[in-house]
């Protein structure tokens, strides 16, 4: 990425962060049809024949735009087990559902039959302010409901469906101690009902951030803490359960000189214990000239051949110099 472009991106990101200039007006409708325009995303812009980086094999990617000012800011991702549809949430409180389109080889080519809406608050009204709407993590619970984590005013809400009024869920005791814009971005649920949450920035020990294991108890969760080891500049933004029972995460870094970089990581479930420190291994590192942007959502499914597929989605911050991209990779043995 040329230095001039990096500088413009950096300045624009600062403007969006400091004054909210990229945020859309509050949504006035809960649900409406959406037309997504899909453009092919090259895997490696200077090497069209490339198909692999680290342990990730390219299975297609798209750049997404749409006919709605509320389209963007996608912060987490869920893909149905059959790979036919996806659900996403944005840091402006919007939700998205869409059908996934593939080519004859089973590679990603687009989204269709899309709908967009706005999450409700505890009062049943559509969330209308950034302080309330900053949804960063989501996961589908075993009963089919959705658990959503919010930043700025740190909290967990459970939605029976994304059209419904939520119910508050008591989070970890120190959830409110997280930095305003560095809360729980990584959130996933296990088949046994446990919930795994990792903070983007909250840390009690150098070189780590805090994570929690939520055990179902008395209609809520009993939370126990663990540490997640980090490298300088990289912070976790998403987590998903892989078909083999291990976990994959995204870690993101950004600075003016190097632009956006993301690490796709994996760790075994045996590491996930109260009081332990998770040491994830790097599967691949995405940076220019490879397909990358502000990746904040990850999901995993099985493909037609039984292969593990990883889905990554980006948050464009409603910044014209960033993009909403959806990437699909196959995890190589």
| CA dist 169 → 183, 220, 320 (Å) | 16, 6, 35
- pLDDT category at 17 given cuts 50, 70, 90 is very low
Placement of tokens 């911050």 in the chain: 317
Nearest CA to 255 among 280, 285, 287, 229?
Answer: 287
- Least confident residue range of 10-14, 228-232, 288-292: 10-14
> For 131-157, what is the mean pLDDT?
97
DSSP string of 168-228, one letter each residue = EE---TTGGGS-TTSSEEEEEE-TTS-EEEEESS--SSTTEEEEEEEEEETTEEEEEEEEE
Please say whether the structural domain 3-331 has been given the CATH code 2.120.10. yes
- pLDDT category at 1 given cuts 50, 70, 90 is very low
- pLDDT at res. 11: 42
Q: Which residues contact 147 (CB under 8 A, 6 or more apart)?
A: 138, 139, 141, 156, 157, 158, 159, 169, 187, 189, 195
What tokens appear for 187 in the block? 């959130």
- pLDDT at res. 8: 42
Q: Which residues contact 156 (CB under 8 A, 6 or more apart)?
A: 147, 148, 149, 150, 168, 169, 170, 171, 175, 184
Between CA 14 and CA 17 the distance in angstroms is 5
Q: With pLDDT > 90 as the criterion, what percentage of the chain qualifies?
A: 88
> For 205-220, what is the mean pLDDT?
96
Phi-psi region of 132 (alpha: psi -120 to 50; beta: other; left: phi over 0): alpha
> For 296-315, what is the mean pLDDT?
98
Listed by start position, the domains of the chain span 3-331
DSSP string of 258-325, one letter each residue = TEEEEEEEEE-GGG--TT-EE-PEEEEEEETTBS-S-EEEEEEEE-TTS-EEEEEEE--TT-TTS-EE
On average, the pLDDT of the chain sits at 93
Cα dihedral 41, 46, 47, 50 sign:
negative
pLDDT, tens digit (0-9, with 9 covering 90-100), for 91-118: 999 999 999 999 999 999 999 999 999 9
| CA dist 328 → 186, 244, 303 (Å) | 19, 18, 11
pLDDT, tens digit (0-9, with 9 covering 90-100), for 147-159: 999 999 999 999 9
User: Are 128 and 120 spatial neighbours (Cβ–Cβ below 8 Å)?
Assistant: no
């Amino acid at each position: 990425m040329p230095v001039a472009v990096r500088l413009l991106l950096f300045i624009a990101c600062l403007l969006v962060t400091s004054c909210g200039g990229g945020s859309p007006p509050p949504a006035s409708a809960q649900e409406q049809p959406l037309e997504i325009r899909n453009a092919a995303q090259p895997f490696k812009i200077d090497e069209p024949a490339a198909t692999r980086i680290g342990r990730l094999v390219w299975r297609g990617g798209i750049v997404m735009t749409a006919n709605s000012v509320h389209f963007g800011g996608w912060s987490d991702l869920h893909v149905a087990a059959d790979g036919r549809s996806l659900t996403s949430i944005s840091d402006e409180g919007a939700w998205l559902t869409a059908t996934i389109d593939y080519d004859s080889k089973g590679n990603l080519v687009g989204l269709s039959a899309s709908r967009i809406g706005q999450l409700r608050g505890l009062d049943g009204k559509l969330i209308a302010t950034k302080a309330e709407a900053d949804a960063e993590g989501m996961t589908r619970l075993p009963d089919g409901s959705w658990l959503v984590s919010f930043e700025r005013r740190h909290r967990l809400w459970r939605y029976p469906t994304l059209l419904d009024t939520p119910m508050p869920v008591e989070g970890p005791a120190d959830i409110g101690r997280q930095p305003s814009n560095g809360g729980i971005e990584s959130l996933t649920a296990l088949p046994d009902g446990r919930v795994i949450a990792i903070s983007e920035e909250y840390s009690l020990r150098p070189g780590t951030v805090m994570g929690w294991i939520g055990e179902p108890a008395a209609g809520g969760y009993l939370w126990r803490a663990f540490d997640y080891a980090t490298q300088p500049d990289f912070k976790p933004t998403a987590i998903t359960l892989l078909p083999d029972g291990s976990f994959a995460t995204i870690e993101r870094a950004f600075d003016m000189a190097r632009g956006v970089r993301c690490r796709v990581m994996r760790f075994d479930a045996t590491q996930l214990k109260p009081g332990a420190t998770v040491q994830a291994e790097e599967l691949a590192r995405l940076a220019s000239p490879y397909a990358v942007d502000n990746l904040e959502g990850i999901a995993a499914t099985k493909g037609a051949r039984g292969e593990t597929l990883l889905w990554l989605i980006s948050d464009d911050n409603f910044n014209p110099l960033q993009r909403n991209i959806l990437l699909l990779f196959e995890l190589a043995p």
